[in-house]
Structure 1
Amino acid sequence: MAEKDSTHEPLPIRLLQEAVINRIAAGEIIHRPASALKELIENCLDAGATSIRITVKDGGLKLLQIQDDGCGIRKSDLPILAERFTTSKISSFSDLSKLTTYGFRGEALASISYVANLTVTTKIKTDSCAWKACYENGKLVPVKDSMRAEPKAAAGTDGTTIAVENMFYNTPNRLSALRSSAEEYGRILDVVTKYAVHNPHVAFTCKKTSTTTPDVTTPSASTVPLAIRQLYGQTIAKELLRVNVTGTEDSVDDISVAAWSAEAYFTSANYQAKKTVLLLFINHRLVESPHIRKALETIYTGIIPKGSSPFVYLSMQLDPRSVDVNVHPTKREVHFLNEEAIINRICDKVQESLISQSQSRIFEYQQLIGNSVVRKDAGKGKERQLIEEDKEEGGSGSSTISSTPAAKKILSQHKVRTSQKDRTLDSMFPVVDPAYRRDAGGSSSQDNGGNRPRKKSGEIEESECYLRSVIELRARIEKGKHQQLTEILQNHTFVGIVDSSRCLSLIQHSTKLYLINHGVLAEELFYQLGVRQFGNMRRIKLDPAPSVKTLLTLAADVEQGIKGTQLNRAHVVDRILTILMDRREMLSEYFSVKISEDGNLETIPLLLRDYTPNLDKLPLFLLRLGPQVDWTSERECFDTFLRELAYFYVPEPLLPEDPPEEDSAKLMTDAEKAVAWQIQHALFPALSRYLAAPKLLLDRDVVEVANLPDLYRVFERC
């Protein structure tokens, strides 16, 4: 064992530099973009805002902007706005005991300015214009170079707009510790959603800079139940129970308790989820409390199945003198007097409501017995038989017991055997993230990001078109429709994908099993959807817009038809580019293919909502538009263009040439899973709804592989 070094001297104690102190303090308050947004929302509410608009870029790391219509900030206060411990909420230490506002320490804007670029634009009602100020490290900095560091006049409406840019640009360790942009944006949505529920009188809007449709939007003058319904869904809203609990200055269990009140909305025993959702507000402040969470979860033990969790919104109003809000840097936790007694009173009321509701629950099921229906009230154990009314022609219509003999028994081999849960082969494997999107040279506005839930596709209406060529194409589709095959596809049950590389899948109709080539069916479907939506197709926006010439060059470099001839690839690219540029207006009007004047591809058509084509095929699609489309005849032009568009939409995973060996297996797995999800959840429902199946598909693309009655005959012989 080494001897202790007796020459080791203690290091001197030094006073940290102010910049280091401020960044350490900022790190305690601003953990991530969502924590900065929480502070900014509370400032908006303190300012009396009735409308709060939030705009986010890259999960709040590039931009986090919040705009309100509150009282604004005086110009004279702007020079010290971002300095530490500058506040309008308190003036002495004793004011902490009677706080009624969210903020009081004056550290939020200061902390943000130490880790990001902060810009404030504000206007009070009496000012003739708005004032804009920029801050770094708590100090005013010039709005533009060569200007003085002072607020500048700017255009603006009453209220305040705060823009936080390049968050954590000077703290790379904090930046690297954050999650992906999508996950950070999900945390932002969670904060906005919770405050929107608790403040239904305020209109909230939250969206990304790259989209026009907000991800969270609520009206003003709403109520808490309506806000929960809109933000958390009908499933939770229809199971909500409500209790109000009040406490006077009497005592609870011989413990003195000041006056307080609480309002709770919570789900009944019929609702079950994997994770508890708790919205806890104490004196209108969003906080966390493991003690309260544990107490509420304990109530549901024995009422809902093990592994299930409830949804609870709890708002408590306590005497400010009994609450200590200054126990956590972000005010995420608070302590209050007689905490256990108050929580027990609230939990008792919630438990009474749950028990009274669960005892009167009714589980109903129906079972046909002959011509009668049996219903059983599982909550009370009563059983009754309802006799169908047997109205004879010309009779009195009174209720009688039907004498009709029981229906003829269906033989086993003629029963249609499908699970009521519609279980497929894919359900036996891990679920693939449905938000997967391929990206080639740009991002698609069809991608909805984060973990937010996806909307169900709506009806695709046939566009109004009076062009004779389009009318003839639609008539040809209807004329070639094979009634029996169309009926099979309309009423099929999806079984699973057999071979994704060969585009083979299994479906069931009645007692028969069919092997189909879903690639061929998809091509016909997308062709018909193109004809159906001609001139009125939705768009997929490519951002940034790739160069058409660059895409054509990429396709020409790998196209075997060009490489094996004497054709000059540059000449081929220029020729096809000229064709497309000369027909830009027609392509945009009829097919939603928008090409800018400088030759960038800005949009492509979206034929089916919730289905994004494989953008790896985009260069080849553009290249084929030259030789494969007949540009000389209107009808043939529309027909051949839509055929190429349908071929572009066919689902097939594409891998890069010669991928690295260690990555090839993973690439193949991800591609196949993404395509499989779209095939099952988007393609096959669209096939059953919109495809007028032509007879030629029966030749080799739809094959009957099993028939239940024939299988029974084989087994009987055995």
Structure 2
Amino acid sequence: MPREESLPPEPQPIRRLQESVINRIAAGEIIHRPSSALKELIENSLDAGSTSIRVTVKDGGMKLLQIQDNGCGIRTSDLPILAERFTTSKISSFSDLSKLTTYGFRGEALASISYVSHLSVVTKTKAETCAWKAYYADGALIPAKEGMSPDPKPSAGNDGTTITVENLFYNTPTRLSALRGSSEEYARILDVVTKYAIHNPSVAFTCKKAGSPTPDITTPSGSNIKQAIKQLYGQTIAKDLVHVNTSSDDNEDEDEDEDGENSWTAEAYFTNANYQSKKTIFLLFINHRLVESSRIKKALESIYNGILPKGTSPFMYLSLQLDPRSVDVNVHPTKREVHFLNEEAIIEQISTKILETLVGQSQSRVFEYQTLLTGGIAPVQSQMKDKGKGKEREKQSEEGEDEVGSGSSAISTPATLKKISSQHKVRNSTKDRTLDSMFPILASQQQKPTQGDPSTPAARTPGRIHEIKESECYLSSVKSLRAEVGKVKHNRLTDVLANHIFVGIVDMDKCLSLIQHEKELYLVNHGALAEELFYQLGLRQFGNFNRIRLDPPPPLRTLIELAVDVEETVKKTKLSKSKIVDTIVDLLIERREMIDEYFSLSVSDDGNVESIPLLLRDYTPNLDKLPLFLMRLGPQVNWNSEKECFETFLRELAFFYVPEPLIPSDSQSSSTSDKASSTAASDEVALRWQLQHALFPAISRYLVAPKTLLDRDVVQIASLPDLYKVFERC
């Protein structure tokens, strides 16, 4: 049959969309998810000159997203048009776009949020006697309850603005269903807060879940960028950070710009060759706006191609200041991307500066790789039959060597005994040499007994670990904390640490040591392992600690004054040092019966510290850290919640017990006296003894290793079978 030709479609009439549909479509371009709404609100708070920003989240921001600041507030007369589209205080004409110095300027953020959520605002300026509260829907004021006036109502409130977003995307179910789980959305929110907190270290940021007693992010005001990176991303990144500044003035080839349109400055913090991560962390701010640029990211990542091992990535923070006339911030609905003049030349100069700094840092690199541990226990590899000479080598066995099956405890019989190739043999005799035995000076110092003092490490019997029994405790909070330790246990890592052989200390200042387990060699951060161990030992002995008596007992106030005097963050607070000391001393004196009963930290009636808890026999903490420990008990311990109080106190106690060198090697000047040098050397020998004969045996016996230690603190650096493959090719 002949095919019927289809008729052309009739033209459809063009209709004007309803205003509500237009606004919801526009809202979808600005507000993709809770984190994008929060980004807009944080920028508004920063534009208002806030020094404190508090974020509260429920159900990943979909049920509740609240941001409170102490900025300049909003005038009452402006509240009726606050959530209307294209209402702004930042620009009045199109030419103003060329000289923008603020985050927001189009007046779309609050409008977009009001179209897809229930929005309320409480605000107060310094000139007003009370705060005002208003509710919004679809860009307009609405009454709080049916039958009431929609006008803003007087309310209690502090200077600044509190914006509450509830039931986000309640009227756009497709967008709501496209979101990930609440935990992932909350992680995105934390990422946004973290990035803005790093770029704005003078602003105090707090982010927490609704109902949670403790925040997930909290930063002090008045710090600097490096301190913020250390607090939010950890010491692992902070210790390897490199800082550079560069600008258009550094480019001698560039012609001078009379009106300054081509002038720019850049500040960067980036990690050196000793830090490697599986994923690049890149923070980019252009004129203080958090943006993304794949070109800049790729250019900076390419710097590390010849520096880091393949498959590893750096941490990079870049803040670029450009003349507003050279930047187009209006190229993306969420202002996530920007374009600027001379982009290629600026990126090239920044990349060159970073590369020169990295090359000047060190000519050597530390390569690390991590295998097996993240996936549980690796299966035993079956022996492959090789051809030619390789096969003959597999059949040979050396006489006189101990042949131990890899993890096998079965007794081999003549019928089942198989020849084991050299690369699969485990040599773990206790007579094997450690790293220290290869250095005669260190070996002689550790083996030489100290006369007249039986308490010194050299006079003790090495390798003896006294039984640490778990105390009986009926507090539900302590039982819960003990149960949580078991929930985060990583079985494979715990087995490695429980059956390891101590090889030696690699770097005292960086807390690095080597251990062997079966056919693998691991580089471990013994400081991180010790901190987790001492926290668990504190839980294990809760309410039944042995004591370290301090004779003579030092005054509590004097110790805290010493710590406050050297604390950098204290210098930038509004409170006086004496007020801070009084607050901490009064707090500890008020609770001294409780901390003595539970933690054996004894403070006398006249304010002297008589004893501190002993967590591990034959191990003495560095008492130089005692003032810092006592000072941190004030602000770092949550005294308002029983469980949180016990956990944070024990975390601080564990941090106090972390083994650190008394005098860093790079702080000893050439003018140091022979007596001081001798004392420092003796202290280091004692610390080494404690690490080998007290700490690592305790780790082997008591540590329940959490998976978090795998992130950076336990790294496999060699495998005997893999090394044989390398040598066979030679």
Q: TM-score range by the shorter chain?
A: 0.5 to 0.7
Tell me the distance in 2 between the aligned counterparts of 1:116 and 1:103.
20
Shift of 1:358: 2.8
Tell me the distance in 2 between the aligned counterparts of 1:54 and 1:390.
54
1:62 alignment counterpart: 63
Cα distance, 1:372–1:143 mapped onto 2, change above 3 Å: same
Cα distance, 1:43–1:133 mapped onto 2, change above 3 Å: same
1:688 alignment counterpart: 702
2:347 alignment counterpart: 343
What's the CA shift string for 1:530-583, capped at 9, x where partnerless? xx999979xxxxxxxxxxxxxxxxxxxxxxxxxxxxxxxxxxxxxxxxxxxxxx
Tell me the distance in 1 between the aligned counterparts of 2:322 and 2:10.
53
2:19 alignment counterpart: 18
Contact 1:240 1:265 in 2 (8 A): yes
1:197 alignment counterpart: 198
Instruction: Give the letter aligned to residue 200 of structure 1.
Output: P
Which of these two proteins has the greater Rg computed from alpha carbons? 1
1:161 alignment counterpart: 162
Compare 157-166 and 143-152 and name the one that shifted more.
143-152
Q: Does 1:246 align with 2:247?
A: yes
Write the mapping of 1:611-626 to structure 2, written as runs, cut at 5 A.
none
1:308 alignment counterpart: 312
What's the CA shift string for 1:247-293, capped at 9, x where partnerless? 04978578987110000000000000000000000000000000000
Tell me the distance in 1 between the aligned counterparts of 2:271 and 2:339.
26
* Alignment counterpart, residue 284 of structure 2, candidates 261, 280, 284: 280
Contact 2:273 2:366 in 1 (8 A): no
1:319 alignment counterpart: 323
Tell me the distance in 2 between the aligned counterparts of 1:91 and 1:56.
34
Q: Does 1:126 align with 2:140?
A: no
Tell me the distance in 2 between the aligned counterparts of 1:76 and 1:140.
13
1:488 alignment counterpart: none
Contact 1:120 1:133 in 2 (8 A): yes
1:178 alignment counterpart: 179
Instruction: Give the letter aligned to residue 183 of structure 2.
Output: A
CA-atom RMSD in angstroms: 4.1
Cα distance, 1:12–1:167 mapped onto 2, change above 3 Å: same
Write the mapping of 1:413-492 to structure 2, written as runs, cut at 5 A.
418=501, 457=536, 459-460=538-539
Tell me the distance in 1 between the aligned counterparts of 2:244 and 2:647.
42
Shift of 1:166: 0.1
Contact 2:274 2:366 in 1 (8 A): no
- Structure 2 portions without partners, runs of 5+: 369-431, 452-498, 503-513, 522-531, 547-593, 600-640, 649-697, 705-730
Cα distance, 1:122–1:241 mapped onto 2, change above 3 Å: same
2:676 alignment counterpart: none
Shift of 1:460: 2.5
Instruction: Give the letter aligned to residue 131 of structure 1.
Output: W
SS of aligned partner of 1:96: helix
Compare 263-272 and 245-254 and name the one that shifted more.
245-254
Cα distance, 1:16–1:688 mapped onto 2, change above 3 Å: same
Instruction: Give the letter aligned to residue 223 of structure 1.
Output: N
Cα distance, 1:13–1:2 mapped onto 2, change above 3 Å: farther
SS of aligned partner of 1:101: coil
Write the mapping of 1:94-243 to structure 2, written as runs, cut at 5 A.
94-243=95-244
Tell me the distance in 1 between the aligned counterparts of 2:204 and 2:145.
33
Q: Does 1:328 align with 2:332?
A: yes
* Alignment counterpart, residue 291 of structure 1, candidates 295, 298, 322: 295
Cα distance, 1:95–1:4 mapped onto 2, change above 3 Å: farther
Instruction: Give the letter aligned to residue 354 of structure 1.
Output: L
Cα distance, 1:460–1:91 mapped onto 2, change above 3 Å: same
1:82 alignment counterpart: 83
Tell me the distance in 2 between the aligned counterparts of 1:71 and 1:394.
67
SS of aligned partner of 1:346: helix
Contact 1:123 1:157 in 2 (8 A): yes
Cα distance, 1:217–1:387 mapped onto 2, change above 3 Å: closer
Cα distance, 1:303–1:10 mapped onto 2, change above 3 Å: same
Shift of 1:15: 1.2
* Alignment counterpart, residue 356 of structure 1, candidates 339, 351, 360: 360
Q: Does 1:373 align with 2:452?
A: no
Shift of 1:13: 1.2
What's the CA shift string for 1:353-397, capped at 9, x where partnerless? 111113166899x975895518xxxxxxxxxx98957999999xx
What's the CA shift string for 1:693-716, capped at 9, x where partnerless? xxxxxxxxxxxxxxxxxxxxxxxx
Contact 2:500 2:515 in 1 (8 A): no
Shift of 1:12: 1.2
Contact 2:274 2:367 in 1 (8 A): no
Instruction: Give the letter aligned to residue 357 of structure 1.
Output: Q
Cα distance, 1:167–1:371 mapped onto 2, change above 3 Å: closer
Contact 2:133 2:154 in 1 (8 A): yes
Cα distance, 1:360–1:464 mapped onto 2, change above 3 Å: closer
Cα distance, 1:228–1:6 mapped onto 2, change above 3 Å: same
Cα distance, 1:363–1:309 mapped onto 2, change above 3 Å: closer
Shift of 1:2: 5.3
SS of aligned partner of 1:16: coil
Tell me the distance in 2 between the aligned counterparts of 1:609 and 1:422.
32
Per the normalisation by structure 2, the TM-score is 0.54
Tell me the distance in 1 between the aligned counterparts of 2:357 and 2:89.
43
Tell me the distance in 2 between the aligned counterparts of 1:534 and 1:169.
53
Instruction: Give the letter aligned to residue 59 of structure 1.
Output: G
Shift of 1:607: 13
Contact 1:248 1:258 in 2 (8 A): no
Tell me the distance in 2 between the aligned counterparts of 1:394 and 1:56.
59
Contact 1:276 1:311 in 2 (8 A): yes
Tell me the distance in 2 between the aligned counterparts of 1:117 and 1:58.
15
Cα distance, 1:394–1:78 mapped onto 2, change above 3 Å: closer
Instruction: Give the letter aligned to residue 268 of structure 2.
Output: A
Contact 2:57 2:210 in 1 (8 A): yes
Shift of 1:606: 10
Tell me the distance in 2 between the aligned counterparts of 1:51 and 1:328.
29
Tell me the distance in 2 between the aligned counterparts of 1:604 and 1:362.
44
SS of aligned partner of 1:19: helix
Tell me the distance in 1 between the aligned counterparts of 2:450 and 2:55.
68
Cα distance, 1:349–1:62 mapped onto 2, change above 3 Å: same
Tell me the distance in 1 between the aligned counterparts of 2:319 and 2:99.
18
* Alignment counterpart, residue 268 of structure 1, candidates 266, 272, 291: 272
SS of aligned partner of 2:354: helix
Tell me the distance in 2 between the aligned counterparts of 1:173 and 1:82.
24
Tell me the distance in 1 between the aligned counterparts of 2:171 and 2:436.
77
Shift of 1:144: 2.2
SS of aligned partner of 1:187: helix
Tell me the distance in 2 between the aligned counterparts of 1:102 and 1:423.
54
Cα distance, 1:534–1:277 mapped onto 2, change above 3 Å: same
1:654 alignment counterpart: none
What's the CA shift string for 1:315-347, capped at 9, x where partnerless? 000000000000000000000001000000000
Write the mapping of 1:598-613 to structure 2, written as runs, cut at 5 A.
none
Contact 2:30 2:36 in 1 (8 A): yes
Tell me the distance in 2 between the aligned counterparts of 1:275 and 1:291.
17
Contact 1:372 1:388 in 2 (8 A): no
What's the CA shift string for 1:438-488, capped at 9, x where partnerless? xxxxxxxxxxxxxxx9996572386669xxxxx9xx9xxxxxxxxxxxxxx
Instruction: Give the letter aligned to residue 188 of structure 1.
Output: I
Cα distance, 1:687–1:22 mapped onto 2, change above 3 Å: same
Write the mapping of 1:518-529 to structure 2, written as runs, cut at 5 A.
none
Tell me the distance in 2 between the aligned counterparts of 1:686 and 1:270.
28
What's the CA shift string for 1:511-543, capped at 9, x where partnerless? xxxxxxxxxxxxxxxxxxxxx999979xxxxxx
